[in-house]
Amino acid sequence: MVCLLILMTTASSALAETLGFGYVNADNVAIRRGMGGKVIGRLPKDTCVWIKDTRTDNTGALWYEINAGVHENYSNYDYYGWMKAEFVDAGDALWYDVVSFQAAGNGIIVLRKDGTAQSGGGAVIAKDSSGWISLRHWLEGISGIHSVGVCDLGMENYAIDWKGKRYSTAASDDTSREKIRVSGGRYWTFSISTDNQLMMGDCDFSWVWPRQIRSEQLSHVVAIDDSFCRVLFLTDDGKLLVGRHLEDQFNMPEPDWENWTDLISIEASAANFADPHGRYYSVYAGVRKDGSVIAAPEILEDMIGNWQNMQKIVVAGTWVLGLRRDGTVITVGSNAPDVSGWTGITDVDAGYDYCVGLKENGTLIFAGDHVFIGDGHDRR
């Protein structure tokens, strides 16, 4: 019996691609120290797990190596071990027919071709403190969705349907009078109407570039991204409008925004590249129509300034992710996931410790090792 256990624990197939976020599909599923090994815990149904490896034991059974965070009775528990694949919904069974998605530190949300949406990641606590919201089912039964996203530093998931109603993990009755796409940070929310008119909610906000904004300029915004202290608005002629919400506490020099032209995509984020104290500061990047890259501050420019033939840049704290025009992906920086084998990718995004790619067939590919930090699943 001992010999059999050793064989089951060590037998494996070749390393497979990371399947990323999945959900336990039965009650009280055992998580084990190894394949067929000692039971170290049991996870409830709909617990979100991160699948970091897949292997097959000598009986032919498929196993997943997982991380999971569970919230129970106001306490948090983190689990690391192995679980039989038959008890987890993941991969193409969960992430299919995807047309758009957004990733953040806490997880992802995707929009499918049929107008339905699906989230993955640790449960979030409702802003009204009514309890924990499992990301598996909060949009169940809702269709006609035309946009999805995350905001509040990744702690709020939202979806907006074609009638203009906004569904959010932050509040159950959060609605909008307009059909809008929403992007926001912790302290503000900005909206773009379907005719590209920029609308601003309650916020303490001033313009950095240009200093004077004409109302006509606000009717040409096609994308928004934000960092701790700046908000970037991309217009349909490839230029930027830049707003200030907070002063840059690290006194980083203001980029020469006048030269940020001919852009097709933008990125505003927080990073701590080479900061000895681990402090985060605002960074910015853009991809021009010719595939070249512009970035600030200088440390980010030095990392990616020579990248060519790009479609999109994503900054993930200590590393940078780039999507090339040919559908391949590149990373640089500390703790960057391995994406060297990715091809046929049409879009990318990232959390702090993982990244996601959208394949041409509408499925997702993952890399990295997402670690749940006290944001797991409520058993109630």
CA 132 to each of CA 42, 43, 109, 122, 326: distance values in angstroms, whole numbers, following the listed order: 20, 17, 17, 10, 41
Average pLDDT estimate for 10-17: 45
Please report the domains of the chain, with CATH numbers, ordered by start residue: 2-91 (2.30.30), 92-362 (2.130.10.30)
- Of residues 227 and 319, the one with the higher pLDDT is 319
Whole-number mean pLDDT of the chain? 85
Tell me how crowded residue 36 is: count the other CB atoms within 10 A of its CB: 21
Beta strand pairing call for 198-200 and 88-89: unpaired
Residue 157: pLDDT over 90: no
Q: What is the pLDDT of residue 1?
A: 40
Specify burial of residue 115 (Cβ count, 10 A radius: 0-12, 13-18, 19+): middle
Beta carbons within 8 Å of 229's beta carbon, 6+ residues apart: 244, 245, 246, 247, 248, 249, 282
Residue 170: pLDDT over 80: no
Residue 151: pLDDT over 80: no
List, in sequence order, the alpha helices (H) in the chain.
2-10, 298-304
Per cent of the chain over pLDDT 70 is 83
| DSSP state string for 145-210 | EEEEEEETTTTEEEEEETTS-EEESS-TT---SS-EEEEE-SS-EEEEETT--EEE-S---EEEES
- Of residues 30 and 251, the one with the higher pLDDT is 30
Q: How confident is the model at residue 14 (pLDDT cuts 50, 70, 90)?
A: very low
Q: What are phi and psi of 101, to 5 degrees?
A: -160, 165
pLDDT tens digits, 258-288? 999 999 999 999 899 977 777 888 999 999 9
Tell me how crowded residue 201 is: count the other CB atoms within 10 A of its CB: 11
- The angle formed by the CA atoms of residues 52, 54 and 56, to the nearest 5 degrees, is 155
pTM for the predicted model, two decimal places: 0.89
The kind and range of the H/E element at 65 are strand 62-72
Residue 72: pLDDT over 80: no
Under 8 Å between Cβ of 36 and 5:
yes
- How far apart are alpha carbons 108 and 125 in whole angstroms? 16
pLDDT tens digits, 322-364? 999 999 999 999 999 999 999 999 999 999 899 999 999 999 9
pLDDT tens digits, 173-218? 444 445 556 665 555 667 787 778 887 766 667 899 998 888 888 8
Beta strand pairing call for 39-43 and 117-121: unpaired
Q: What is the pLDDT of residue 123?
A: 74
Structure tokens at 18: 């990371």
